[in-house]
């Protein structure tokens, strides 16, 4: 019994947010009950669940190509998506009177991931006992988790920034615009850097061949 | 030291002995797996000989831009349309010249061909020749006597400067004559056996990109009128399959999935493809552009083979792709090159029994292929499966699997027979290797019921006993608690 209590005190806020999102996120922000490492833990579990899902979902449900699996790649993709989103959201909301700090945005999104933590692995296990006609249950479970995650993340961001719903929706849209701009800048930067490197290499080659 | 020497000698021998096992064809056989990845396969067909016109008869000279090769169905005579020389050469399997058709008598006058493009021989021996530059289709009987000709139909909707340039001709089961005509986009022209125009047959869906359609939305009526019409491509070739359906190919600019169509007697496309990730469009992976041997496969000729199979000839890379009735790619062979078994500019293919001939217009010769043991096994297995004779098919699938472990159809075939015989666990293994998920699911569902039949009694017993124990304990605790409460009073 005490072990369960320990888990509840350690993981209590994410579970509380699941049922009382407004109170939970308010407690996270204003009563300083949010912990960065719990948020990171939540995200890590989602990453692991994602790789687990890619590897162990029954091939009746989604025929994954076993040779195309790459857990490191999945991890990198998810992390960069999260970081990009947080940075984009922060850069937009800091211009539009949002009260959230970067750390709080990160925590809000990660705390909202609890439904994913709770559904991805069970859905994967479930898929292994489903026949072709019953795959709807698997997809239902997954999409319920996903929808609840999006709902929680939205409420989390509203609370963290102290926004009204309309303003939150507008900033969300602007966040995606900022995301595209950031990705574009990154691509351009890497292309230009590559060209500079190519130039340095060709200069080096010239010197080597002449010398 | 001796042992090391022995091992190294053994390894050396293994390496030397392993070399002849590799196929000595200049091309590599391959197919695609469930996900569309390239999977190497043994060569299914090997070239056995190459012949030119003078091999048939020294007086024939050389082929000049030959355009079609056709085997008459009843008499096994091979006809080659020697377009540049305005003649048709008929010879048999052993390369004995049987006849040269270059002239005939029409209404008492001598007549000849001008740039003939193709020939079709009906089961009764009548020859239909697309005499392109004479704007007609010539019909000759079995002895080469002129019967009639089909000329440009008197149709209003044709434009005034329209020239009737027939390229390919085919006679359907009911005697309807189907003609592919240059610059006719409505479909094939269809004539009655007497030569009356009946209408158009089959149509190619138009592929306009979404961007093009969006752009057209913003244009004015005048701009749209000036701009080129979005029109379908032309049919390239056709073949009559054993059900009387017409297999056709057309060249799509980006190799989209309607390159091959199987037209039913009403002209509807009934081709089947059971693969989600691999289309009936030749190569899945290719360099998009930039020189030699690039771009999507373009099927310039097709032959209908027994048991619903068909083979198509790709002009981009000179390969022959063979598919079964369910759209599975069975094997690929030949290619563009200079070695024995490769072609320079392939234009037509034809089959003679199980053997396949490719007509190479670039070098004016015919390459004759025979199936290897592997190719024969694939053909036999597909035949048995098409007949519904799964027992016989499994026999071939098992031998195929020992030759080529990557052949998914074989694994799925074995799995299906296992499923039929009720061995669900083995069926699951084989069907998974063949990525046949529909049947795998059936095997899995049956297996699941078996497992539950075995495990449920135990699980339920243990569960009921546990519930009983917990309930008993709770009652006991309650009674005891009541007693202690009474004691305290």
Angle value at C-alpha B432, between B431 and B434, nearest 5 degrees:
65
Looking at the complex, report in whole angstroms how far the Cα of residue B450 sits from the nearest Cα belonging to chain A.
13
Nearest to A131 among B37, B435, B444 (CB): B444
CB of B195 closer than 8 Å to CB of B204: no
Q: In CATH, what class is B25-371?
A: mainly beta
Angle value at C-alpha B236, between B235 and B237, nearest 5 degrees:
105
pLDDT tens for chain B, 489 residues long, are: 555 555 565 555 555 444 444 457 899 999 999 988 899 999 999 999 999 999 998 888 899 999 999 998 877 899 999 999 999 999 998 899 999 999 999 888 899 999 999 999 998 889 999 999 999 999 999 888 899 999 988 877 777 778 899 999 999 988 899 999 988 888 899 999 888 999 899 888 776 677 777 887 788 877 777 766 666 778 899 999 988 999 999 887 665 667 899 999 988 899 999 888 888 988 888 888 777 888 888 899 999 999 999 999 999 999 999 999 999 999 999 999 999 999 999 999 999 989 999 999 999 999 999 999 999 999 999 999 999 888 889 999 999 999 999 999 999 999 999 999 999 999 999 999 999 999 999 999 999 999 999 999 999 999 999 999 999 999 888 887 777 666 665
Output the pTM of the full model. 0.81
Which DSSP state fits B288? -
Nearest to A132 among B35, B435, B438 (CB): B438
Which strand (E) or helix (H) includes residue B237? strand B235-240
Q: Give A-chain residues touching B441 at CB under 8 angstroms.
A: 60, 131-133
Check CB contact under 8 Å for A132 and B437: yes
Residue A19 DSSP SS3 = helix
Q: Give B-chain residues touching A133 at CB under 8 angstroms.
A: 441
Give the integer Cα–Cα distance in Å for B85 and B210.
46
Residue ranges per structural domain of chain A: 2-210
Which DSSP state fits B20? G
Residue ranges per structural domain of chain B: 25-371
Check CB contact under 8 Å for B37 and A132: no
Check CB contact under 8 Å for A63 and B435: yes
Nearest to B34 among A60, A63, A129 (CB): A63
ipTM of the complex: 0.77
CB of A68 within 8 Å of any CB in chain B? yes
Nearest to A60 among B34, B37, B437 (CB): B437
Give the integer Cα–Cα distance in Å for B280 and B263.
15
Maximum distance among all Cα pairs of chain B, rounded to whole angstroms: 135
Q: Which of A63, A58, A56 is nearest to B448 (CA)?
A: A58
């Amino acid at each position: 019994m005490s072990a369960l209590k320990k888990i509840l005190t350690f993981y209590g806020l994410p579970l509380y947010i699941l049922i009382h999102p407004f109170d939970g996120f308010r407690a996270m922000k204003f009563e300083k009950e949010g912990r960065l490492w719990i948020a990171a833990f939540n995200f890590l579990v989602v990453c692991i669940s994602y790789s687990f899902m890619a590897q162990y979902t029954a091939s009746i449900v989604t025929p994954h190509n076993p040779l195309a699996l790459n857990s490191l790649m999945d991890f990198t993709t998810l992390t960069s998506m999260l970081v990009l989103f947080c940075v984009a959201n922060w850069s937009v909301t800091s211009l539009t009177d949002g009260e959230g700090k970067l750390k709080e945005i990160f925590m809000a999104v990660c705390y909202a991931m609890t439904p994913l933590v709770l559904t991805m692995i069970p859905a994967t296990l479930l898929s292994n006992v489903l026949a072709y006609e019953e795959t709807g249950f698997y997809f239902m479970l997954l999409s319920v988790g996903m929808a609840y995650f999006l709902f929680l993340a939205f409420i989390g961001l509203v609370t963290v920034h102290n926004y009204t719903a309309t303003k939150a929706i507008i900033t969300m849209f602007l966040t995606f615009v900022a995301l595209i701009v950031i990705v574009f800048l990154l691509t351009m930067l890497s292309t230009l850097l590559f060209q500079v490197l190519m130039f340095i290499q060709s200069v080096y080659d010239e010197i080597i061949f002449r010398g | 030291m001796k042992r090391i020497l022995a091992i190294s000698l053994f390894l050396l021998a293994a390496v030397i002995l392993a070399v002849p096992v590799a196929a000595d064809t200049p091309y590599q056989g391959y197919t695609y797996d469930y996900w569309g990845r390239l999977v190497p396969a043994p060569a299914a067909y090997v070239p056995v000989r190459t012949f030119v016109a003078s091999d048939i008869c020294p007086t024939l000279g050389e082929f000049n831009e030959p355009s079609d090769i056709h085997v008459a169905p009843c008499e096994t005579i091979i006809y080659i349309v020697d377009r540049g020389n305005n003649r048709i050469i008929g010879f048999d399997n052993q390369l004995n010249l049987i006849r040269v058709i270059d002239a005939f008598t029409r209404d008492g006058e001598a007549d000849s061909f001008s740039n003939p493009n193709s020939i079709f021989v009906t089961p009764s021996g009548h020859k239909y020749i697309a005499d392109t530059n004479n704007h007609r289709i010539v019909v000759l009987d079995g002895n080469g006597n002129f019967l009639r000709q089909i000329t440009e139909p008197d149709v209003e909707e044709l434009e005034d400067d329209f020239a009737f340039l027939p390229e390919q001709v085919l006679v359907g089961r009911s005697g309807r004559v189907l003609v592919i005509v240059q610059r006719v986009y409505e479909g094939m022209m269809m004539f009655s056996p007497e030569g009356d125009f009946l209408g158009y047959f089959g149509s190619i869906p138009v592929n306009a990109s979404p961007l093009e359609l969006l752009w057209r939305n913003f244009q004015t009526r005048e701009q749209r009128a000036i701009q080129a019409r979005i029109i379908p491509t032309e049919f390239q070739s056709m073949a009559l399959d054993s059900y009387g359906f017409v297999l056709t190919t057309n060249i799509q600019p980006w190799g989209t999935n309607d390159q091959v169509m199987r037209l039913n007697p009403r002209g509807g496309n009934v081709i089947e493809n059971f693969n989600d990730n691999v289309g009936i469009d030749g190569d899945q992976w290719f360099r998009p552009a930039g020189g030699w041997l690039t771009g999507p496969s373009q099927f310039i000729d097709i032959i209908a083979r027994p048991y619903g199979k068909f083979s198509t000839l790709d002009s981009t890379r000179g390969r022959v792709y063979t598919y079964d009735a369910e759209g599975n790619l069975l094997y690929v062979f030949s290619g563009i090159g200079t070695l024995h078994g490769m072609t320079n500019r392939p234009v037509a293919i034809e089959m003679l029994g199980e053997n396949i001939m490719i007509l190479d217009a670039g070098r004016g010769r015919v390459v004759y292929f025979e199936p290897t043991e592997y190719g024969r096994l694939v053909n036999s297995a597909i035949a048995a499966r098409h007949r519904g004779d799964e027992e016989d098919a499994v026999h071939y699938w098992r031998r195929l699997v020992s030759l080529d472990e990557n052949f998914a159809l074989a694994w799925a075939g074995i799995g299906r027979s296992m499923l039929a015989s009720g061995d669900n666990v083995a069926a699951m293994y084989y069907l998974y290797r063949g990525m046949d998920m529909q049947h795998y699911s059936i095997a899995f569902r049956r297996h699941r019921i078996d497992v539950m039949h075995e495990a449920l009694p135990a699980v339920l017993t243990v569960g009921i006993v546990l519930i009983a124990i917990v309930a008993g304990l709770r009652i006991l605790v309650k009674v005891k608690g009541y007693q202690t409460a009474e004691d305290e009073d």
